[in-house]
Chain A
Amino acid sequence: MIGWSKNIYRTLIISSFIGVIILILFGIGQVLSYLNTGADRSSMLHITLNQEQVYLPKVIWEDTTNPGRTIQKQTLLDIEKDYLNAWYVRQVAYQTNLTKGINDYYTTSAQQDIIKGLESNRKKDIIVKGTTTNHNLVLDFYSEDGQLAVLTDKNVNEYQQVLQKNELLLETKILSDYQVMLLLEDGFWRIRHMIKKESQIPKDSLQTEKIAQVIGTKIYVDNQEFQIKGINYYPQNTPWDMFGDGFEINVIAKDFDIIKTMGLNTIRIFVQYEDFGKAAVTKEKLQKLEQVLDQAEAKDLKVIVTLFDFYGDYSVLDWTLTHRHAEQIVSAFKNHRAILAWDIKNEPNLDFESRGQENVVAWLREMMLQIKQYDPNHLVTIGWSDIASASILQDEVDFVSFHYYQDIDVFEEAYKGLNANINKPLILQEFGVSSNRGFWSPFGNSEKKQANYHKQFQEIIKGQNIHYLSWTLYDFEEVPQSVVGSLPWRKHKQKHFGFIDAEGNRKAAFEFSDN
C-alpha cells in the first residue's frame, strides 16, 4: 500500500515537474515570438502584404505626363492601389466610427481631419455607408525622389446612406473632383492633403447603334416591332448550373431547335454571380456564354440574360465589386445581336426583408446606370417576383418585368391594373405551374391540369397582347438546394414545371406553349 502511494506521488511530482517545464518553455517561446513580430524586415517594409482587393471602383488614368519625374507603371499601380485603399478604409471608418486602418493610408495630420469627423458622428450616433463608383485620375506632379505625388481625381461619383440610430436619414449621390497629395511613407502612399473641388461636367459618351430599344409601350429590335414569346431556359441535365462542367453546346443547340418549333422567339437565361467568378469574371465562363449567344443568334432567338443570380449582399461597400462583375460581362457582349436585354437580378424584392428595401433598390438603381454606361445598345429590366413590386424603379428600367405564380383567375385584372399605371412595355417574365402530383403532393396538379393552365394563360395573353416567357422547358431530375431549400416537397414541385418531362417526352402542356 505504502509502495503504491509512493509511486503515485512520484509520478505526480515528476509529471507536474515536466508540465511546469513545458509551460515555462511555452511561455518563453510566446514572449520571444511576440517580441519578434513586426521586427522582421518584410513586415517592417510592408513588402509582403497579402491583400485581397475589396474595393474596385472603375479607375481610369486619363493622363500621367507631369512636369516632374516620368512615372513608372509599377509606381502608378502602387499609387492607385493605396489611393483606393485610402478610400476604402475611410468608408469602413465612417460605417463603423472606428479608426482602424486610417493610420496606414493617411499621414498623421490628415488623420486628424477624419478622426474629428468620426468623433462627431459617434457622439450623434450617425453612421455613413458610402462608396465611390469611379475615379478618373490625372497625375499632376511626381517628384524627382519619388516620394511625393499630386493627382486630380475627376468626376468622382459618391453614393452615401446616412443613418442615425440605425434609421435611414438620407440617401444621396454627389459628383465631385478632388485634388490629392500623397507622400510615400513606410512603403505606403499616404494621403497628405485632399481638397474637394467643383466637378467639371463629364462629356457625354457617344451613343452607339441601339440593337434594341423601347419607344412608348413597344419594344423594337432592329427597328422592327418585337413581341416577346419566350421561355425561361435551363438545359435539362444542368439546371441552375448552365455554364458548369456539364456544359454541352450541342445539347443547347438542340434545345434551341425545340424552342423554335414551339413558335417562340426569346429565351431567358441566368448568369450566376459566384459561378462566373465574382469581381474577376473567368474567361472560360464568358466563352461559354458567348457560345450560347452565338447559337441563339444562329437560331434567330433573342436572349434576356439575367445577371447576379444567387447574389445577395447589396451592402454599399460591396458595390464596386459587383460593378466590375457586370462591366466585364456586359461590355464583352455590348454588340452581340442575340441579346435583347440585361435582366439585372431575378426577383430582388424577395431580398427586401433580409437586406433592407432601400439597400436593394439603391444597388439596382446604380447597377442599371453602370450597365447602361458599358452597354448602351441593349435594354435593361428587373425580374420582379410579383405584380406589387413591378412599379419599383419603373422610370429607370427600359421595360417592366414581373413574374406571376398566383391564382390565374385574377391575373387579367391585376395585369390591367398594372398596365394602367405604367407606360412602358410590360413583360410577364415567368409563369407556369408544376405538374407535381405524386407522393410529395397528393393534391398537386396533374399534367392535364398543367396543360389547361397554360391553355387558359395563352388565351389571356393573346387577348391582352402580352409579352411573355413561360417557366420552363424541361422537368428536372435534380434541383440544387440553393434554389428552393432542402425540403423534399418543395424540390419536387420545382422539378415539374416543364413542358417536356424527365424522360424527354412532350407533356400535354407542350402544345400550349404559344398562342
Chain B
Amino acid sequence: MSKKQKYIIFCIPMLLICSIGFKAVVSESKEAVAILQTEEEVFEAGSDIVLDFELSASVKTQLFLHTAFGSTIIESDTGHFIVPEFVCEKKGLINYELVYNSKTLYQSKIRVKTRKEKSIQLASYIGPPSITAGGKDFTMHVIIPTDSYDNPLPDSTAIQIKHQFLDIENEETLYSKDMIGWSTIYSYNQSGRMLLSSKVGDKASKEFSIEIFPSLSEDFQISSERKHPYADGNQITKFITSVLKDRYGNIISDGTLVAFIIKDINGSILQTQGSTINGKAIAKILHPDHKDIWEVRAFVPGIAKSNMLSLEYKSVLEDFDVIFTKSNRKISVGPLLSFMDQLIPDGAVVTLKISQDGEDLETKIKTSSDGVVQFNLEEGFYPSGNYDVEIKALGVQKEYKNKKLQ
C-alpha cells in the first residue's frame, strides 16, 4: 500500500512537470509557427524569387538555402525573403529551411528552370580534330546549349547540326539529353576538310572544321635515276617512288616517311629514306666505290612496300700504279684513272694495310687528291725490316710481299 502511495506521490509531480514541459514546447512552437504564402514552386532562372511566410509572431527568422554550388542564409524580420540573385540564376533544385532560434520551422524546396528566351549560348566540342578517310573513322560533335545564365537547356531541346564535305551537305536534328546533344560523324572515302556547324533555335554556332586525312598507303612502284653506271664513289643515285595513294585513290599525306632498303652483293644492308611531297618520295645515296649489284625495295614501314629494283655498278678502273720510294717508306698510289681515263674526282678512298709475319700492324685510310694518294711509313713506327703491304682502291686490290724498309 505504502509503496503504491509513494509511487503516486512520485508520479503526480512528475506528470505536472511533464505537462508544464509539454506546454512550454507547445507554446513556444506556437509562438513561431510559419505558413508558406508563396504558391509558386517553379521559377524561371533570373526571375525574382520571393518566399513569404506568415509567422504567428513577428520574430527574426533565417532562411537557409541549399543549391548545387553551395549554401547560404538570408534573414528577415517579417517573413518576407528575397532570394539572392546568384541563387535565382542557377538551374536546379533549391532546398530551403526556415529557421528560428536554431530550430527548423518549415522546410521545402523550389525548382529553378532554364530561362526561355532567345539568347541561347552554344558551346561546341569536336574531337578528334583529324580522322582518316574510308568511313571507318569518325569524329564526335558535342553541343551544349545554355541559356543566358549559363544553365544547360532542358532535355529534348532540338539541335540542328550540319556538315559540308566536298559537294555533300548534310543536316540532322538531335535532341539533347543529359545536358548535351551529340552526334558521331564518319569520314567519307575522299580526303579533305569537313566543315561543321550547329544551331539551336535562332542561335547559330561558328564554323568548325576537321581534317579528313587519306587512309593508309597501298603498295607502290619505285624507279632510280643516276648520271652514269660506274662505281666511282662520287656521283649520287636517286630513288623515286610512284605517287603513293590509299585504297580510295587519295594521295597520302605529305611527310609520310618512305624507307629504301638496299642489299648489296655481299648481303650487307644500306638504307636511305625520304618523305613524300604530293605523294612522291625521293631518296638519294652515293654510288658505291667498287663494282656491285644493289637490290632496292622501299617501304612505308608497317604499311606498304614497293617492287624490287636491281642496279648494277661497273668498276671504274682495272689497275693503278704503286710507286715505292725513299727506301720503300714512301708509297705513292696512282694516278687513279676513271672510266674515260680522267683523274678520279678527289675523295676516292684508298686503304693501305701493313702486316709483318702474318700479323696486322696498321690500316691507313686516305682519300685521293688529284688522283693520287701518298702514304709515309715513318721510321719511328716502322723499324727496318720486311713488311707485307696491301693496297685497295675502287674495288682493286694489290699486294706486295716482303717489302724491305731501311
Contacts and interface: CB of A to CB of B under 8 A. Distances in A.
Interface of A: 68-69, 90, 94, 109-110, 113-114, 116-118, 120-121, 124, 126, 128, 130, 140-141, 143-148, 150, 152, 158, 160, 162, 164, 168-172, 174, 176, 178-179, 181, 192-198
A192 B179 CA distance: 11
B125 A94 contact: no
A196 B68 contact: yes
B253 to A, nearest CB: 20
B66 A160 contact: yes
Contacts of A179: 178-179
A94 B68 contact: no
Interface string B138-153: 1110101010001110
Contacts of A146: 127
Contact of A169 (B62, B68, B86, B95): B62
A261 to B, nearest CB: 40
A197 B92 contact: yes
A170 B66 contact: no
B182 A195 contact: no
Given A168-B102, A170-B97, A193-B179, A147 B125 contact: yes
Interface stretch (B70-78, B320-328, B367-375): B70-78
Going nearest first, the 3 A-B pairs with the smallest beta carbon separation are A145-B127, A144-B140, A116-B86
Please classify the interface of chain B as helix (H, G, I), strand (E, B), loop, or mixed, using the class held by over half of its residues.
strand
Given A126-B72, A144-B138, A181 B144 contact: yes
B221 interface: no
A322 to B, nearest CB: 23
A126 B65 CA distance: 12
B305 interface: no
Given A120-B72, A193-B179, A145 B67 contact: no
Nearest to A69: B140
Please classify the interface of chain A as helix (H, G, I), strand (E, B), loop, or mixed, using the class held by over half of its residues.
strand
Contact of A144 (B71, B91, B97, B184): B184
A245 to B, nearest CB: 47
B158 interface: no
29 contacts: A68-B182, A94-B70, A109-B150, A110-B69, A113-B90, A114-B70, A117-B71, A117-B87, A118-B70, A124-B72, A126-B73, A128-B72, A141-B182, A143-B125, A144-B184, A145-B126, A145-B128, A148-B125, A148-B142, A150-B180, A170-B73, A170-B99, A170-B104, A174-B95, A176-B93, A178-B68, A179-B178, A193-B152, A194-B69
Given A143-B125, A143-B182, A196 B93 contact: yes
Contacts of B71: 94, 117, 128, 130, 160, 162
Contact of A195 (B66, B72, B91): B91
B248 interface: no
Given A160-B66, A169-B62, 7 more contacts: A126-B72, A128-B72, A141-B178, A148-B142, A168-B102, A170-B62, A170-B73
Interface residues of B, number: 43
A194 B179 CA distance: 10
A174 B109 CA distance: 11
Contacts of A174: 66, 95
A185 to B, nearest CB: 12
B3 to A, nearest CB: 14
Contacts of B75: 124
A68 B140 contact: yes
Contact of B127 (A130, A143, A160): A143
A169 to B, nearest CB: 6
B84 interface: yes
A266 B226 CA distance: 100
Contacts of A160: 66, 71
